[in-house]
Structure 1
Amino acid sequence: MDGVTGMNRLMRLIRNTGMAITIGLVVGIMAIFFNAAINGGVALTRSWLTSENPSILLLPIIGALISTGIYTLYLRNGQIGLGIVQVLVELEFIKTQLMRPFRVLMHVVGAIVTLIFGFSAGRFGPIVHLGASIGSNIAYYLKLESKDIRLLIGCGAAAAIAAVFHMPLFAAVFVLEVLYKKQFADFFAPIVMASVVANFVGRVTQNGQTFPVEVNGVSLISPELIWRYVVFGLLMGFIAILYMMSIQLFTGLFQKMKHIHIRLFSAAILIGLIGYFFPLNFELHNNTTYRVLTGEFGLGLLLAIGLIKILATGITLGSGYVGGNFYPGVTIGASLGVAFGKIIKPYGVDHSLFGLLGIGAMIAGYLNAPISGIILIIEFSGQYEMLIPALIVCALSVSTTFHLYGKDIFTDAYTKTIKNLV
């Protein structure tokens, strides 16, 4: 009997691994088209708009017109949220297929419009939504058991992250830590397999970037730096709280407007004005982050980037535009981290050290995901010497947000969505 049970488990593992590889390939290819649509759209819209021309104010207005059309025609009547919240809800109601193909496609199109037309949102949430929905629909089509449906949803989400961001270990750990809350250790191997395959597909078709830190022979755990890590970790916890409060504040303000059309156009006007006076807000977050970490900006501009991104992302997501909150958080962490480095002048290391630590600390803080934050720092930098500094800043950041704020960035939206469904 034990032999039969063991053989069944082995066959299930082989089957799930095969499906994970398939999902990795499919999601990797879909991610290529997703990125191409965003990058091509941004290049097209920016080619006929310049910061010196008042017509730049039209960019978000056009986006509002298109988004209003998408919402009016396709995203009404009880549609539930996008991105991580959508996936969390699907996992909660595992026998109810909520991520249906056309619905997800319209959400993804809405996210592409948000990003193309200058709003402050990220591609992380939409691509996780897309990847998880591919895994979900395959599982439901094959009429798999609940546990296997959960597994394929996780494989799709991890594959999507790895394909777009070229960080397979972070992708796998993020899914386990944020989506599964560390309860499903037996999912690790298939999820890693999907991440690695999708990462390979992404890297052979796109140029992945890492951000090396110049340490100049100085130990990253020297006493001169340890106290700076402690202060910085606590500070980033407060910044993460400010980021979450911005989204919560604008969500409450915009919900007082009865019609979604008024919300979208009001937000478009505000984003247009921000972009007119601060054109960097219209740049894609990954481009801005790279420029921040490579030292293009001075202290004043770094502070402006971080604070304006907090404001603009709150307006964008609070008003109802489709998009993610991950990459704005990355840009905020990088810019304020490098600014911190310039202010305290770290002993013997490049300012980008604190930019990279800021990225992980922000993620750890507003997602309540310290392990994901630590791994993100290491995979971004490509240097495992960053482990101890990453541990310090991520631990202090998540402790600050947990004790002072008591919830992560998805809690309110998740709770509201669950109430609407039950």
Structure 2
Amino acid sequence: MTGSTNVSFVSRLDAWRQRHVSDRELVLVLAFMVGFLASLAAYVLHVIIHEIKELITSGFQVATINWLYLLYPVIGIWLTSLFVKYVVRDNISHGITRVLYAISTKQSRLKGHNTWSSIVASAITIGFGGSVGAEAPIVLTGSAIGSNLGKIFHLDNRTLMLLVGCGATAAVSGIFKAPIAGLVFTLEILMVDLTMASLLPILLSSVTATCFSYFFTGGSAMYDFKMDYLWSLERVPPTILLGIGCGFLSLYFMRLMSWCENGYGKLSKYPYLKLLTGGVVLSSLIFLFPSLYGEGYDNLGLFIEGKTLTDWMQVMSGSMFAGQTKYLVLYVGLVMMTKVFATSATNGAGGCGGTFAPSLFIGGFGGFFFARLWNIEQLGVYIPEKNFTLYGMAAVMAAV
């Protein structure tokens, strides 16, 4: 009875809309709704991740190793697998992959559960230590919101594709409070056609998501970056060298990620073996290098906002390297090289998350590693570690 009542209400709403609201006006209204709902989804996801992490790691020691790092990631992946298998009962996949598939089939139709399932699955995975990002699940969620709102009003496939683009734009804009970044992401990654008819809805959803993100989380940026060192021509050679190094680093990340995921894919017939293999790899790496826990944005903040060796040393907190200054560069280099194994193990074993944050993480650690090593060896002009951390993030993300 309730189902028929809902169908009747939707039918009456659609009939009223066709009489009083044009398709162009409807798209603008839906773009606004998509922007609001996507920003709300991003806020809810990050709150859940933060609360889970605080709940299970609040008592961890900073100066000594924590044995529970060996247990939590496995629990998180196992709970995520149970959620997907018994609640969702569908393949969630990597978020952006699912969106690209929906667009490439010219249907742009995403399932209803995609509006919430990725939020729950990725929150469990990342909250318990999964070394992946939350951006791809939010992009999938925002795109699914746009697709399903369009299906309610029986819009054509071309308009559905536009609303999917609005959702992806709103997701990226809401996460980083960067409306232009959301627009560029949609145009470059999803390749939604840029016409005057599509530009206005995409911009509307982008700005809406950004405004509501400011409302939900305040006006502060993700990092409190201050330009302490002005650009000089003397720093051009090391900057070029960093770019070349980040190019090779991105190839290492992409090719090794594909190789690892293919390896875990061969274990699909043995789910418990796949969970055990990926769980052991992930938990062992996080135990050795706690910086690999979760998205890793906090650790990047230590390099971007920190100015002294004391600030940077916090990145080794909770590890066997804690407090040992001479091992900072070694630790950063090892974390940079093992992040890809942690990310692939998380998704390969049954977790849910994306590779956007890991690419930023690897790039940031690579930039700091390069700058710190350059300054220690005194190879020439001093290069600021915080600036080169940002350069590395931009370079690897662009290349990936």
Please confirm whether the aligned pair reaches a TM-score higher than 0.5, indicating the same fold. yes
Is the aligned partner of 1:57 residue 2:70? yes
CA distance in 2, matches of 1:227, 1:53: 42
Deviation at 1:80, TM superposition (A): 5.6
CA distance in 2, matches of 1:317, 1:249: 13
Q: Once structures 1 and 2 are overlaid, which stretch shifts more, 101-110 or 327-336?
A: 101-110
Partner of 1:237: 247
Partner of 1:25: 36
Is the aligned partner of 1:40 residue 2:51? yes
Provide, for residues 122-167 of structure 1, a one-character-per-residue CA deviation record: whole Å limited to 9, x for no partner: 0010000111100010011111122211111111111111112211
Please list every run of 5 or more consecutive structure 1 residues that lacks an aligned counterpart in the other structure: 1-10, 367-422
Q: Contact 1:82–1:323 (CA<8 Å) still a contact in 2?
A: yes
Q: Which secondary structure state, in structure 1, belongs to the residue aligned with residue 116 of structure 2?
A: helix
Provide, for residues 340-360 of structure 1, a one-character-per-residue CA deviation record: whole Å limited to 9, x for no partner: 122334746522111111111
Partner of 2:84: 71
Q: Once structures 1 and 2 are overlaid, which stretch shifts more, 305-314 or 34-43?
A: 305-314
2:348 to 318, 337, 358: 318
Partner of 1:371: none
Partner of 2:140: 129
Partner of 1:91: 103
CA distance in 2, matches of 1:344, 1:236: 15
Partner of 2:393: 359
CA distance in 2, matches of 1:252, 1:283: 23
Q: Once structures 1 and 2 are overlaid, which stretch shifts more, 199-208 or 44-53?
A: 44-53
CA distance in 2, matches of 1:277, 1:212: 29
Q: Contact 1:333–1:358 (CA<8 Å) still a contact in 2?
A: yes
1:200 to 196, 211, 233: 211
CA distance in 1, matches of 2:370, 2:291: 20
Provide, for residues 32-69 of structure 1, a one-character-per-residue CA deviation record: whole Å limited to 9, x for no partner: 21111111111112125556342331112211331231
CA distance in 1, matches of 2:44, 2:206: 18
CA distance in 2, matches of 1:104, 1:155: 14
2:256 to 246, 258, 277: 246
Q: Contact 1:248–1:318 (CA<8 Å) still a contact in 2?
A: no
Q: Which secondary structure state, in structure 2, belongs to the residue aligned with residue 122 of structure 1?
A: coil
Q: Contact 2:133–2:294 (CA<8 Å) still a contact in 1?
A: no
CA distance in 2, matches of 1:96, 1:283: 31
CA distance in 1, matches of 2:235, 2:86: 55
Q: Which secondary structure state, in structure 2, belongs to the residue aligned with residue 324 of structure 1?
A: coil
- Report the TM-score when normalising by structure 2: 0.81
Provide, for residues 194-245 of structure 1, a one-character-per-residue CA deviation record: whole Å limited to 9, x for no partner: 11111111112214324435343x4x2x432222222211111110111112
Q: Contact 2:169–2:182 (CA<8 Å) still a contact in 1?
A: yes
CA distance in 2, matches of 1:234, 1:29: 39
Is the aligned partner of 1:350 residue 2:384? yes
Provide, for residues 348-403 of structure 1, a one-character-per-residue CA deviation record: whole Å limited to 9, x for no partner: 6522111111111111111xxxxxxxxxxxxxxxxxxxxxxxxxxxxxxxxxxxxx
CA distance in 1, matches of 2:188, 2:117: 28
Partner of 1:267: 278
Matched to 2:107, the amino acid is K
Q: Once structures 1 and 2 are overlaid, which stretch shifts more, 293-302 or 247-256?
A: 293-302
Indicate how the Cα distance of structure 1 residues 171 and 96 shifts in structure 2: closer, same or farther if over 3 A, else same: closer
Partner of 1:396: none
Is the aligned partner of 1:209 residue 2:222? yes
- Report the TM-score when normalising by structure 1: 0.77
Indicate how the Cα distance of structure 1 residues 236 and 294 shifts in structure 2: closer, same or farther if over 3 A, else same: same
Aligned length: 352
1:369-408 map, 5 Å? none
Is the aligned partner of 1:277 residue 2:288? yes
Q: Once structures 1 and 2 are overlaid, which stretch shifts more, 226-235 or 100-109?
A: 100-109
2:171 to 156, 160, 169: 160
Deviation at 1:100, TM superposition (A): 1.6
Indicate how the Cα distance of structure 1 residues 352 and 49 shifts in structure 2: closer, same or farther if over 3 A, else same: closer
Partner of 2:369: 339
Matched to 1:88, the amino acid is L
CA distance in 1, matches of 2:117, 2:273: 21
Deviation at 1:95, TM superposition (A): 2.7
Indicate how the Cα distance of structure 1 residues 129 and 140 shifts in structure 2: closer, same or farther if over 3 A, else same: same
CA distance in 2, matches of 1:38, 1:248: 27
CA distance in 2, matches of 1:177, 1:64: 32
Q: Contact 1:115–1:284 (CA<8 Å) still a contact in 2?
A: yes
Q: Contact 1:292–1:302 (CA<8 Å) still a contact in 2?
A: no
CA distance in 1, matches of 2:118, 2:271: 16
Identity percentage of aligned residues: 24
CA distance in 1, matches of 2:92, 2:123: 18
CA RMSD of aligned residues (A): 2.4
CA distance in 1, matches of 2:50, 2:216: 14
Provide, for residues 312-359 of structure 1, a one-character-per-residue CA deviation record: whole Å limited to 9, x for no partner: 112222334210100111111111111212233474652211111111
Q: Contact 1:111–1:322 (CA<8 Å) still a contact in 2?
A: yes
